[in-house]
A and B are shown apart, each in its own frame.
Chain A
Amino acid sequence: MTLLEVSGLQVEFDTPEGVVKAVNGMNFEVNEGETLAIVGESGAGKSQLVMAIMGLLAENGSASGQALFRGKDLMKMKPKELNTVRGRHIAMIFQDPMTSLNPFLSIEKQMTEVAMHHQGLPRDEARAHAVEMLRAVRIPDPEERILQYPHEYSGGMRQRVMIAMGLLCEPELLIADEPSTALDVTIQAQITELVSELRQETRMAIILITHDLAAVAEISDRIIVMYAGEVVEAGSVDDIFYRPQHPYTRGLLASVPRLDRVSDDELQAIPGNPPNLLELPSGCRFRDRCVEATEPCREKPPLWVSPDGRVSRCVIEMEGGLIEAAAEEAGDAE
């Protein structure tokens, strides 16, 4: 069943240099119990997309479109109503666990208050529940460690605390924005393992946001690749890794340095820089960095959609795909 359905989502920021369209007409859905990864470089709009859904945009940002969570539009909710949904039904964890935790409060205080506020539990029950969640994210000696302050935890342990806090209210949807990017590669692997286990133990849906395709290979069901505020490709995890359609997806895959191959080829980068939304080329937005770009790319590329939900936005024809007229109109509305 569909848990979250986003359609026609646009996000704009008013800046001194002009209006920046960070997200330009996104349509996607998240099903119950499913893990969706949203992948893209800095400036792709992947974080702003979820910030808009959660009502957390910066002052100069505005969003339009629909985000139906269990049929109710998050974008039209009053702040109070949205506050209930956030934390209780949808939890979010951020990249830097140190700045998301209050350094002056013990983990016990921070976790217990969340449970008391959102679930109306009395203090001792809330505390017991918090300990249980710390145990669920594999923090050793949770009874002892809950008394400690954030600085007494290592980076990886802090991110576990963040996940535990996210899990407190047993949300239906967990949004994780680059949860392991700031961590050592060893700890990244542990967090990946943890998320993979939690997926199996709970029926929670997860949205994972990352710039590193390799980081989500093991733990996602579907993947959306974003570039300059738009979907460039979407499909099942196997589609994206084994049958990538879009040159940008292929570029992202090729840029991952691999150790499982003995060969020592030259490292592949995507040429150029992540998109500057104020200086986008005409036609295909990826054109100026694309190694396969040709003359027709100067025109707006078609959006191919297949019956099983595969999507590619490129002049290269997608097998079994039909051109989606409605989506094209949304894109043309800029």
Chain B
Amino acid sequence: MNKPVMRVQDLAVTFTSYTGGLLQRQQRQLRAVDGISFELHAGETLGVVGESGSGKSTLARAILGLIKPGRGRVIWRGEELTGLDEEELRQKRKELQIVFQDPVASLNPRMTAGDLIAEPLWTFYPNMERRQVDERTRGMMKLVGLLPNQINRYPHEFSGGQCQRIGIARSLVLNPRLLICDEPVSALDVSIQAQIINLLKDLQKKLGLALIFIAHDLSVVRHISDRVMVMYMGQAMEISDKTNLYRKPRHPYTNALMKSVPVPDPKLAAAARRDSWLTGDMPSPYQRPKGCIFNNRCPYRVSRCKVDVPALRKMENEDWAACHRAEELDLSI
């Protein structure tokens, strides 16, 4: 493969909070993202999957410089983003864009669809001619499957799926090279989710975008991803090629996430997930388990898992997993 467009190296974000009273003030550290590394190529999609609190959104924000990472580097086309100042970073946002989860809440209700899509142009190219802005806006609407005669409508006149199309048009209007989609379909009806996923897939092909697609559900990212990273409590549990991951997950947590996806078949549904049941909640981020951070919920735990932290290791192919038993366990579907 050619050179990656993005390299993320050992990225970490820590939030500090304070508990206790004025006199017994105690500092607590929450490691939201804890040493994430990956590479991304042009035209490639990396799916990022994990439960709430696994650090997926914080990772997205840290990559874009919306949150300052405490450690690690983000290298975008040979340039280190983590070292840039505010204004330089702002200029880079033309190339790096994000689509948010809630399509309705992320759009200003008092702006028309046309204005919402054109706004990034006004901001970054204040001298662009009105006619040109208009032309580009209409072009974007067509590209994402909206009708040009909807240009003067307000967000409340659109359905959730259409609002997400506006959100996508708005992110693409500056011709970015990387698009991060943070749970773009979680708030949509199942029947509409596939429309948006197929749209993003088409756009990526057409525009040659690099894509990071975040979801809490492995079934959602399957169709769009080339590789998938599974996150848990800020760390990568597994990074695998899509075909391998869905056929034979390497990490018990990946397996558990797969088993949680409901099966639309009454006879298969119950049987499908009973054999690998993910119990309990994610532990408190302030009390991280010793050893493997997943060990207290893992059905395949052995005594070693409670002591040694498993490193993210390379398996055969280009797959990586952070599990002591990755080689010996057979989790194939």
Contact = CB atoms under 8 A, between A and B. Distances in A.
Given A189-B278, A218-B266, A269 B261 contact: no
A273 B222 contact: no
Nearest to B223: A267
Interface stretch (B110-118, B169-177, B184-192): B184-192
A156 B159 CA distance: 28
B21 to A, nearest CB: 18
B268 A260 contact: yes
B264 A259 contact: no
Contacts of B52: 155, 184
Interface in A255-269: 255-260, 262, 264, 266-269
Interface string A13-25: 0000000000000
Given A185-B260, A258-B219, A266 B198 contact: yes
A231 interface: no
A255 B264 CA distance: 10
B195 A260 contact: no
A211 B189 CA distance: 6
Contacts of B159: 42-43, 273-274, 276
B161 interface: yes
Interface stretch (B12-20, B61-69, B131-139, B269-277): B269-277
A269 B192 contact: yes
B262 A215 contact: yes
A258 B263 contact: yes
B263 A269 contact: no
B318 interface: no
A333 B224 CA distance: 46
Chain B interface helix/strand/loop/mixed: helix
A27 interface: no
B144 interface: no
B51 interface: yes
A267 B194 contact: yes
Given A42-B160, A264-B223, A217 B192 contact: no
A185 B270 contact: no
A109 to B, nearest CB: 23
B256 interface: yes
Interface in B228-248: 243, 246-247
Contacts of A192: 262
Given A185-B257, A218-B262, A255 B223 contact: no
A274 B163 CA distance: 13
B305 interface: no
Interface in A27-70: 41-43
B281 interface: yes
A269 B262 contact: no
A266 B191 CA distance: 14
Interface in A150-174: 154-157
Nearest to A276: B159
Contacts of B89: none
Given A214-B261, A258-B264, A269-B198, 15 more contacts: A42-B159, A154-B282, A157-B281, A185-B218, A185-B260, A189-B278, A214-B264, A217-B263, A256-B190, A257-B220, A259-B246, A267-B193, A269-B195, A274-B192, A276-B159
The 4 A-B pairs with the shortest beta carbon distances in the complex, nearest first, are A269-B194, A218-B269, A267-B194, A214-B264
5 contacts: A185-B218, A218-B270, A237-B266, A255-B191, A267-B197
